[in-house]
A and B are shown apart, each in its own frame.
Chain A
């Protein structure tokens, strides 16, 4: 077999491993390492491991991941997550579907300070799931709402997926964050519309509560000020160039940590528990990144990305057809893989393809716009049945709801996502309007 053939065979091999429940990072590690062995002998993968595990784990740009994860833990301990939920609920709770909308609003708010979709879904589920069930919301509707809301964690900046994209595509992180703001808000609005349609179709699946006096509503708003402060400092500081994303994450973690300590939420035991949560997610994410690094090095060596790029561009498809093919590919792939590995695997292949096409924009604008479209496409993957990380995490927290019910309800949110992708693809200006120059 030639290197190219080995490279092409590695795709089905990797998928087969993933389907038999091999952890994703391990599957990529093994496929990449074994592929390198076949192409170049056993010494090459072993020699790579002498320095590459260390250099992958010590990457300065990736240090943002555990920092934001820990910040999310502190925000929960400080009562900031539930404060956001109470504020949203006091304004929306009396409308049909209002509590679900409040959950979306809370996810959006939390997503604004948390960099990870899984962390947002997991954190907000702990707060909002019991509330939703208490208000008489159907199980599947509740879990689907939170699964979709959780994706706002990556859609609304800061976002780990965008950081990874920026590194792979050599783009400016601050500009990508800025470009993600309007699409992220559109996502939240789209989910609110989805909820109102859903409760109109199935009124029995959502409860309402008596309106809250305005005085109490404003009081709930005041409770949110620490969140707004930290959000303003972190996101604003990164945008204004006061600090790097990693520095912003540090400032945010210090801010939420201090607030949590003052609120009495951060003590020895809870600090240790937040280390545990951070440790598990960090190790999980970095092991996927390590596996992807090995697999990507192998793919590069076999020249498969170049060949696929040449094939796609050589077909004479129009740029828009190529873009549509890539986005559909992501929706399909999203049923099987998690967002980070999708980005890590595919951006080195598709990014040069997209950059070689003419969409009537500058190279930088094309890169940023494509990054946002990819971000949304992989995020949809998190909630598309049968495999979606957010679906699994939230369903695991509500054992009384069968998975199939979650699947059915989430399709409404997936539909709203697909409409949004189409709009943003057709009108790049929506994404690019906030960019300077």
Chain B
């Protein structure tokens, strides 16, 4: 018989990649490792109410016990995580997710995330364009309305000459279908769940470092975690931290391949910007770095130090 029921709330439909390949795995492992004493009730697609930006508050306030959310949906609250959202910063989701967890423990756990118990931190595979017109050079973005998932992406889009539109990812399909936006920035992995390859026919991916990335957290209500008996706390601990973060980031990035194949099979136009050609993009978006460091300075955070630390941790990964 179970002693504890945890409500897991998130914004994607149950059959999408992250719920299916990552969150369900987490929930199943927790149930198994606890010998059935923990039951994880799964509420996909915002079934418990509210909107995706409210998820982190739902975990803090205990409306849900565990949430999976995009950190960028609440700009201004978790500024340090933005270091992994800078353009052309991340080349490998596993390395970045590992670095993200290490830096979370050092710099964010007791400060920005003090109100909530974080179970895992990760980034998705390379972020890229999905557009109704082909985009190969920054100039092609002129006058296009593009959805961005966070503050950094929107600044990048603005610099590149597009008009950024901010909306949570579940709103993307309808916005593309209605022509509210001309394209969206998302990784390959989530495109099938949102029917993106049916809605737009052009995809622009980048060789080498990713154009941008978003950061995620799997977060648990703090009192809820602390109220658990020690042996069940140990079960949660076993299924959280560095190892699970790397698994999550890696699994999500690995889901890019099959998703890309769907667009290939539909005969869509896939533009791959070579590492050399990406220089043109780098130049355009370069000011994002200086502006971010400045923004962080205003908050009393040494942004350049975070950038350097993230780079060295990602380089050190796997070595």
Contacts and interface: CB of A to CB of B under 8 A. Distances in A.
Contacts of B49: 48, 52, 293-294, 296-297, 300
A303 B61 contact: no
Contact of A44 (B13, B43, B45, B62): B62
Contact of A241 (B7, B43, B51, B178): B178
Given A174-B177, A244-B180, A55 B47 contact: no
Nearest to B175: A244
A48 B51 CA distance: 11
Interface string A286-324: 000000011011001101000000000000000000000
A400 interface: no
A55 B51 contact: yes
A243 B180 CA distance: 7
Interface string A187-208: 0000000000000000000000
A47 B13 CA distance: 24
Nearest to B53: A55
Interface in A49-85: 50-52, 55, 59
B28 interface: no
A172 interface: yes
A242 interface: yes
Nearest to A48: B63
Contacts of A99: none
Interface secondary structure of A, over-half rule: helix
B50 A52 contact: yes
B48 interface: yes
A173 interface: yes
B179 interface: yes
Nearest to A364: B195
A362 interface: no
B178 A51 contact: no
B50 A173 contact: no
A436 B49 CA distance: 33
B243 interface: no
Contacts of B57: 50-51
Pairs of residues from A and B, 7 with the lowest C-beta to C-beta distance, nearest first: A297-B49, A47-B61, A241-B179, A300-B47, A244-B178, A55-B51, A51-B54
Interface of A: 43-44, 47-48, 50-52, 55, 59, 166, 170, 172-174, 241-245, 247, 293-294, 296-297, 300-301, 303, 348
9 contacts: A44-B63, A51-B54, A52-B50, A172-B174, A172-B177, A297-B50, A300-B47, A300-B49, A301-B48
